[in-house]
Amino acid sequence: MIMPTASELISHHHAHPLDFESVREVPDSHAWPDLHDHPTASAQGAVVPVIDLSATATNVLEQLARACESWGAFQVTGHGVPPGLLRRVEVAARGLFALPTNRKLEAARPADGVSGYGRARISCFFPKLMWSEGFTIAGSPLDHARTLWPDDDPLAFWYVYDARVPTPHALHHLPRPSNAAEKPCCDTTCSDVIEEYKEEMKQLARKLMRMMLMSLGLTEVEAEAEAETGWIGPRDEAGGMSAVLQMNSYPVCPDPDRAMGMAAHTDSTLLTLLFQSNTSGLQVLQVVGDNGRDRTARWVTVPPMPGALIVNVGDLFQILSNGRYRSVVHRAVVNRSSHRVSVAYMCGPPAASKVEPIGKLVGPGCGPVYRPVTWPEYLSVKGKLFDKALASVMRTQASSEHT
């Protein structure tokens, strides 16, 4: 069989924008003219709230309400996710991105697919390319590896990215499992780490969803009922919340003032749990004054905090909260000296669940602002309208008066 060359794969999939390692200058295709659309706040300025979730913390619901209303984002500590797992997931992500380009391109995300390797999915909305690459993993990482590399022994691929053996070269030196169904000999595989990480994130996302609903004024029982009828589904049913793991890589950049790691967007999720390791890059847009047409905003850097995770309110939570909590506009900038990776757990309801404003938050003077949508419906709208998607699922005044 004749294998396609890297450049054939690149032109076929349009997946890999650039061989970042080898370029000495930011090419025109990646040079953004408007990185300074809003000023960037100084480090001494406003700080995205940090909320301690541990049992001893007080006023957590009030803190959550304030953070979600004024920022749409916050960092959490005391969340219970072991720091060792965060380190291992970072090593796993770095191992994947260290694969040779050819190997990554074999896993290129198909034009109509969710999973795989490639540019940020929002790339199609911007005239310039971003200084990043990503792996998107929906479902089980092992099934994912099997689909992406069907001719390979997927276990061999995944277990190479053991925390102790992070380089792709190790592939050829490690003993392969004799039977693909057998567990590899190493005690932790990349696939295991991702599976374990997703499980931890799922528990934390559920806890945060409940707390955020309670911070909106729902009782514990009401928050639980919401969970069962809406975003988790009945307790005894398989499935529950769905999630996608998005691993992002931002290589070092020779001219960070002209390149964009990930352009401004909101997440199309209920909420996103983001691990940004120890390299700064995430910025959230803080709206400072919003009186009519006089709307000023600034970019605020979210500083890395050891062991902390960032929570972004997503578009679907904005719908659920009837607009009280706003999804946060955010972006990632790049730098000259450290290769940054981030891992986003993008969490939404089961595919068949309709997300709509919670009954208790809708009243006589305040009808439902949004119409019900499923996650797949919303993603399809977002894929066409991008930053106009939320506005397009708003009810007209006439329709909200009749419901």
Ligand X SMILES: O=C(O)CCC(=O)C(=O)O
So which residues are the catalytic ones?
340
At 276, the amino acid letter reads Q
The answer to the question of residue 162 lying near Fe ion (CB under 5 A) is: no
Q: Provide φ and ψ at 78, rounded to 5°.
A: 60, 30
Residue nearest to Fe ion (CB): 267
Check if the beta carbon of residue 214 is closer than 8 Å to that of residue 61: yes
What separation in angstroms does the CA of 176 have from each of 106, 153, 161? 21, 9, 13
Residue 134 CB, nearest distance to ligand X (Å)? 7
Closer CB to Fe ion, 133 or 267, in the complex: 267
Residue 214 DSSP SS3? helix
**Rounded Cα gap, residues 206 and 241, in angstroms:** 9
Cβ neighbourhood burial of 273 (10 Å; 0-12, 13-18, 19+)? buried
Judge whether 115 and 220 are in contact, CB under 8 Å. no
Residues ≥6 apart with Cβ < 8 Å to 400: 367, 368, 369
Q: Which does 215 bind (CB under 5 to 8 A by kind): ligand X, Fe ion, none?
A: none
Contact call for residue 262 and ligand X (CB under 6 A): yes
Residues in the chain: 403
Q: How far is the CB of 262 from Fe ion (least distance, A)?
A: 7
Among ligand X, Fe ion, none, residue 251 binds (CB under 5-8 Å by kind)? none
Asked if residue 51 lies in contact with residue 64, where contact means CB atoms within 8 angstroms, the answer is yes
Nearer to ligand X, 218 or 346 (CB): 346
Position 267 contacts Fe ion (CB under 5 A): yes
Binding ligand X (rule: CB under 6 A), the pick from 281, 304, 348, 349 is 281
Can you say whether the dihedral through the CA atoms of 317, 276, 284, 300 is positive or negative?
positive
Residue 130 engages ligand X in binding (rule: CB under 6 A): no
Give 192 or 267: the residue with its C-beta nearer to Fe ion: 267
Concatenated DSSP letters for 314-367? Answer: -HHHHHHTTTSSPPPPEEE---SS--EEEEEEEEE--TTPPB---GGG-BTTB-
**H or E segment to which residue 369 belongs:** none
| Residues forming a β-bridge with 283 | 301, 331
* Partner that binds at residue 276, options Fe ion, ligand X, none, CB closer than 5 to 8 Å by kind: ligand X
| AA identity, residue 180 | A
| 316-335 residues near ligand X, rule: CB under 6 A | 330, 332
Q: Does 356 bind Fe ion (CB under 5 A)?
A: no
Closer Cβ to ligand X, 210 or 298, answer by number = 298
Given candidates 276, 277, 318, 353, which one binds ligand X under the rule CB under 6 A? Answer: 276
> What single-letter amino acid sits at 245?
L
Please identify, among the stretches 9-17, 71-79, 262-270, 301-309, the one whose residues bind Fe ion according to the rule CB under 5 A. Answer: 262-270
Smallest distance from ligand X to CB 340, Å: 7
Smallest distance, Fe ion to C-beta of residue 267, A: 4
Shortest CB 305 distance to Fe ion, Å: 18
The least distance separating Fe ion from the CB of residue 120, rounded to whole angstroms, comes to: 9
- What is the DSSP-derived secondary structure letter of residue 315? H
Residue 282 within binding range of ligand X, rule CB under 6 A: yes
Tell me whether residue 248 or residue 353 sits nearer to ligand X (CB atom): 248
- What does the binding site for ligand X look like in residue numbers (CB under 6 A)? 246, 248, 262, 267, 274, 276, 281-282, 330, 332, 342, 344
- What does the binding site for Fe ion look like in residue numbers (CB under 5 A)? 267
